[in-house]
C-alpha cells in the first residue's frame, strides 16, 4: 500500500477509482480528483502548501509534485500526464497537458491548456506557457503550435492509457 501521511493534522483526499502504487508517497494537504494514478516511486508532498489535482491525472514513475512554503501551491487540472521523473513545483498546470519525461516546471509558472512540455524541458520561474503549443529546451521556449490531432492523439491518448494501465493492478479500496 502507498505511503499516505497526515501533516499537521491534514490527510490527503482521493477521488473515485484512483490508483496508488505501493511505493508511491502522498503527504499532507493533497486533494486528488477521480481516475487519477500515482505510479512507482512518485512523490506528492502537500506539506508546505496545498496541492489540488483534477480528474484523470497521472503522476508517472519517479515524478515529484511539490510546492513552495507560504508562497506557491500547486494546481493541476484535468486530463494531465506528468512524465517519468518530471518535477512540478509551486505552479499551475491547466487542463489537457502533457509534461514530458524529466521536465521541470518551476515556481509561479502557468501552463495553459492543450500544451505539451517536451521531455527534459525546464520551464523557468514565472514563465507563462501559452495554450496550444509545444515548449522545449533549457530554458523552455515555444517551438511550435500543436494541432487538434496532437491534442487527441497524444495528450488525451496518454491520459486514457494510464486509466487502463491502472486497471491492470489489483488494489485495495481507498
Cα radius of gyration rounded to whole Å, the chain: 15
* Structural domain count, the chain: 1
Q: Does some domain include residue 174?
A: no
Q: CB-based contacts of 153: which residues, under 8 Å, 6+ apart?
A: none
For residue 172, tell me if it sits in a domain: no
The sign of the CA dihedral 167, 169, 173, 174 is negative
With respect to residue 173, please indicate whether it lies within any of the assigned structural domains: no
**Positive or negative: CA dihedral 97, 101, 107, 109:** negative
Q: Which three cell numbers stand for residue 79?
A: 486530463
pLDDT digits (tens, 9 = 90+) for 105-157: 999 999 999 999 999 999 999 999 999 999 999 999 999 999 888 888 899 99
Q: The domain containing residue 130 runs over which residues? A: 3-167
| Domain assignment present for 112 | yes
Give the span between the Cα atoms of 120 and 60, in whole angstroms: 15
The pTM score is 0.95
The angle subtended at Cα 137 by Cα 77 and Cα 100, nearest 5°, is 40
Amino acid at each position: 500500500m502507498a505511503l499516505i501521511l497526515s501533516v499537521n493534522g491534514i490527510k490527503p483526499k482521493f477521488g473515485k477509482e484512483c490508483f496508488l502504487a505501493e511505493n508511491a508517497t502522498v503527504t499532507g494537504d493533497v486533494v486528488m480528483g477521480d481516475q487519477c494514478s500515482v505510479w512507482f516511486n512518485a512523490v506528492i508532498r502537500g506539506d508546505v502548501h496545498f496541492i489540488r489535482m483534477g480528474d484523470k491525472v497521472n503522476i508517472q514513475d519517479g515524478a515529484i509534485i511539490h510546492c513552495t512554503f507560504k508562497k506557491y501551491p500547486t494546481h493541476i487540472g484535468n486530463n494531465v500526464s506528468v512524465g517519468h521523473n518530471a518535477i512540478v513545483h509551486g505552479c499551475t498546470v491547466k487542463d489537457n497537458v502533457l509534461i514530458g519525461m524529466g521536465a521541470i516546471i518551476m515556481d509561479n509558472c502557468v501552463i495553459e491548456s492543450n500544451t505539451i512540455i517536451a521531455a527534459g524541458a525546464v520551464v523557468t520561474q514565472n514563465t507563462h506557457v501559452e495554450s496550444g503549443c509545444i515548449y522545449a529546451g533549457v530554458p523552455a521556449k515555444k517551438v511550435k503550435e500543436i494541432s487538434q490531432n496532437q491534442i487527441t492523439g497524444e495528450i488525451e491518448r496518454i491520459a486514457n492509457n494510464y486509466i487502463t494501465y491502472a486497471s491492470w493492478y489489483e488494489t485495495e479500496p481507498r
